[in-house]
């Protein structure tokens, strides 16, 4: 079940990414640098589910033992991704299942910072109701 979910998410992600890269006509050396960078930033199925707003898949993957508090190499969390993409159901689900709204990424941003940058008052209220700390300093 998990492999099917991950496969579907990865296919959607690859399709979107491939379309972008196909139209870029870059010199070979530059394309190689970009490809290395892309491989280093690959995300797990949880991040793909948070990006696309697939709360059902988040629930399945967490039920199979993955953590709702997972962070990538840049310190980004699933909650940051769900907030950045304005997926209300995912944000609520992640908060209910232990995601910390005060976790900062490498740029010291929290989910509350992203909600404020986007001007999403409903999201700001939701995060503050879940003890998001407004005094954390971010970039």
Over the Cα atoms of the chain, what is R_g?
Answer: 16
pLDDT at residue 6 in the model: 66
Q: In degrees to the nearest 10, what's the CA dihedral of 46, 51, 54, 58?
A: 20
Range of weakest confidence among 7-11, 46-50, 70-74, 89-93: 7-11
d(C-alpha 122, C-alpha 132), whole Å:
14
The number of CA neighbours under 13 Å toward the Cβ of 24 is 13
Is-contact 109 139, C-beta < 8 A?
A: yes
Query: Alpha carbon of 121 to those of 12, 66, 95: distances in Å?
Result: 30, 30, 17
pLDDT tens-digit profile of 41-83? 556 777 888 888 888 888 888 888 888 888 887 888 889 989 9
d(C-alpha 81, C-alpha 72), whole Å:
11
Range of weakest confidence among 16-25, 80-89, 91-100, 113-122: 16-25
List domains and CATH numbers for the chain. Answer: 2-129 (1.25.40.20)
pLDDT at residue 40 in the model: 45
* Mean pLDDT estimate for the chain: 76
d(C-alpha 72, C-alpha 41), whole Å:
8
């Amino acid at each position: 079940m998990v492999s099917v979910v991950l496969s579907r998410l990865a296919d959607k992600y690859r399709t979107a990414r491939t379309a972008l890269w196909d139209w870029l006509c870059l010199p070979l050396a530059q394309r190689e640098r970009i490809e290395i960078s892309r491989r280093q930033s690959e995300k797990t199925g949880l991040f793909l589910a948070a990006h696309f707003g697939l709360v059902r898949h988040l629930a399945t993957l967490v039920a199979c033992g993955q953590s709702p508090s997972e962070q990538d190499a840049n310190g980004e969390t699933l909650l940051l991704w769900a907030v950045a993409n304005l997926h209300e159901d995912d944000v609520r689900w992640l908060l209910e299942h232990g995601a910390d709204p005060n976790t900062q990424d490498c740029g010291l941003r929290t989910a509350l910072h992203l909600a404020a940058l986007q001007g999403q008052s409903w999201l700001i209220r939701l995060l503050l109701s879940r003890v998001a700390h407004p005094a954390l300093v971010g970039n």
